[in-house]
């Protein structure tokens, strides 16, 4: 594993991986943040299901920010799509 930034820049496959991770994050993260804005403020909630929805989306966002190699699982994407449809109206 490379220890320096120069080692990464000299390895085309590592540069491609870094660019791929950045592109994925730049594509998915804004969508998750948009979904998070649709969800109600968690401090004003009494509904346990809605709190779980908020926690689910915030956890996904935090995971993507902390781990650049992370990808959403198909089931997570499907759940996000369901939440989007539920809260956008």
Q: How far apart are CA 60 and CA 47, in angstroms?
A: 20
What is the residue-averaged pLDDT of the chain?
Answer: 82
Could you tell me the pTM of the whole model? 0.75
Mean pLDDT of 33-50: 78
Is residue 87 pLDDT above 60, yes or no? yes
Identify which of 28, 31, 52 has the alpha carbon closest to the alpha carbon of residue 42: 52
Q: Are the CB atoms for 64 and 28 separated by under 8 Å?
A: yes
Vertex 16 angle, CA 56 and 70, to 5°: 15
pLDDT of 58-67, one tens digit each? 999 999 999 8
Mean pLDDT of 1-26: 70
Q: How far apart are CA 60 and CA 76, in angstroms?
A: 9
């Amino acid at each position: 594993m490379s220890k320096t930034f120069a080692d990464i820049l000299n390895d085309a496959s590592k540069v491609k991986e870094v660019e791929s991770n950045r592109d994925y994050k730049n594509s998915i993260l804004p969508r998750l943040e948009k979904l998070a804005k649709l969800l109600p403020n968690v401090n004003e909630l009494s509904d346990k299901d809605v709190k779980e929805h908020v926690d689910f989306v915030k956890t996904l966002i935090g995971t993507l920010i902390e781990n650049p190699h992370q990808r959403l699982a198909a089931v997570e994407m499907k759940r996000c799509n369901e939440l989007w449809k539920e809260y956008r109206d």
